[in-house]
Chain A
């Protein structure tokens, strides 16, 4: 008999650490920045996984709800039972991608955009985010100072003592190809590369 979704969640250390029999008090929801502005209730996520019901957990994995969390982990500080709904969400998100259930929700499908920005930046530049990739069109909140900075990056960064696109140490240095190769090998060894390939394949199929 194949493993249940709950059994698979239990294999994630964050789920193990995050769930210690919730008493349903709702402090996590009262304190949650996502609950302040979204129709989102971390308490109900914990209540749902505690039912152990396969179809209920599948519903979470296929829905938008688990993608609302901002992972600030304010819930960890406040829970009187030392639960961490944020950790449970992390485990649910991971399982949603691994099972392919993320494809069923709008928010889940948005994850390809994350993969193509911060995910790909890591392997391309060795940084999660990188000046050259952050345009004013995609990030209008950066304001006109960002435009000026990007257009004059070499001169501005040199004035500030940085080593932009230089070899060796320093702020904004180029990460060497050997170091980038090690990152890629880590991605291969730990399943990130396979996960990224699957996400791209699905997105191409969808189009």
Chain B
């Protein structure tokens, strides 16, 4: 904890300490990220194994945590609790104790179940009974439960030492201005489980600052991206996520961010896709020269810093083009390779939006 004081005001800045295991991770995959940002799911493993030299296990038997259905209000508590218990059982069977989900919704649910079991031993017993009856498996709570962004945060200095570039403008050398958006379920439910808590989360800001960027503080910085679970899944209610995300764009616009980075798969998706919708329906774009503001996962940000090819990271699957950011960073890339398939297969290109420049 650090504290700054003067005679007139007393400002307390609490840096919540959080134990993040050093090695031997059981990787719990995200449904949204595998489908929408598959390159980031792979980049995380590559960074952990090849750059950081750590052991990470990718289990074929894991499944969804069922979290989206749970927060949409269709699954009973006991069902999601038992699915979570099964994931922990798989971890122990594979010989691991450090559980790292890549989805923020999942991280919130895994944490919710562990907290529930710790406070209500009878519910822990019930979870054991339900899992045994349905699968024959047994489980224990993990020794260490953190989000995958916590792992990158922990090793941000090691990544900086191996970096090929900084988050600065290639011409001016000035830090790029970055909006960091933390998924609500990372620290708003259980603030003591997030680096920096809910008020001053450092998990992304720490990466940005360590790698040379500047974090923007804007009024709606901590507002939800607007996912709203059932409010997105049900088409008629989709104005809820759109309106909430637009609120954030309107709030950050004056600060002219060079890019947005998030630690939540859903947030990355909404902040990217709603820019396309707002451009096509209202003619409004939030980036420079008719482009949108590029929206990155933290692995994409780390991958660029480490010198990975943007198309190997899967950044061609964004609807908002990342090229304006690549140009500012001075990253060389081949536009002709952007939309190639496996082994250079020619598979055509996406249709261009009418308003949003790509």
Contact = CB atoms under 8 A, between A and B. Distances in A.
Interface stretch (A1-9, A43-51, A126-134): A126-134
Interface in A176-207: 176, 179-180, 182-183, 185-192, 195-196, 199
Interface stretch (B13-21, B160-168, B202-210, B345-353): B345-353
Interface in B239-292: 239-240, 242-244, 247, 273-274, 276-277
A76 interface: yes
Interface of B, secondary structure class, is: helix
B324 interface: no
B347 A186 contact: no
Interface stretch (B147-155, B181-189, B211-219): B181-189
Given A36-B247, A141-B238, A159-B341, A70 B226 contact: yes
B314 interface: yes
Contacts of B351: 144, 147-148
A159 B134 CA distance: 38
Contact of B230 (A111, A143, A199): A111
Contacts of A19: none
Contact of A128 (B38, B67, B239): B67
B353 A144 contact: yes
A73 B188 contact: yes
A199 B69 CA distance: 14
B189 A76 contact: yes
B91 to A, nearest CB: 14
A25 interface: no
Interface stretch (B4-12, B53-61, B138-146, B170-178): B53-61
Contacts of A176: 60-61
B319 interface: yes
A160 B317 CA distance: 11
Given A118-B68, A127-B31, A190-B76, A33 B134 contact: no
Contact of A183 (B63, B187, B273): B63
A10 interface: no
B66 A128 contact: yes
A186 B35 contact: no
B238 to A, nearest CB: 7
A185 B273 contact: no
16 contacts: A17-B116, A36-B244, A68-B231, A73-B184, A110-B237, A131-B35, A158-B342, A159-B343, A170-B58, A170-B60, A171-B38, A172-B35, A176-B61, A183-B83, A186-B79, A186-B135
Interface of B: 29, 31-32, 34-35, 38-39, 41-42, 58-61, 63-64, 66-69, 71-79, 81-83, 86, 108, 116, 119-120, 123, 130-131, 133-135, 184-185, 187-189, 191, 198, 223-224, 226-231, 233-240, 242-244, 247, 273-274, 276-277, 312, 314, 316-319, 339-343, 345, 347-353
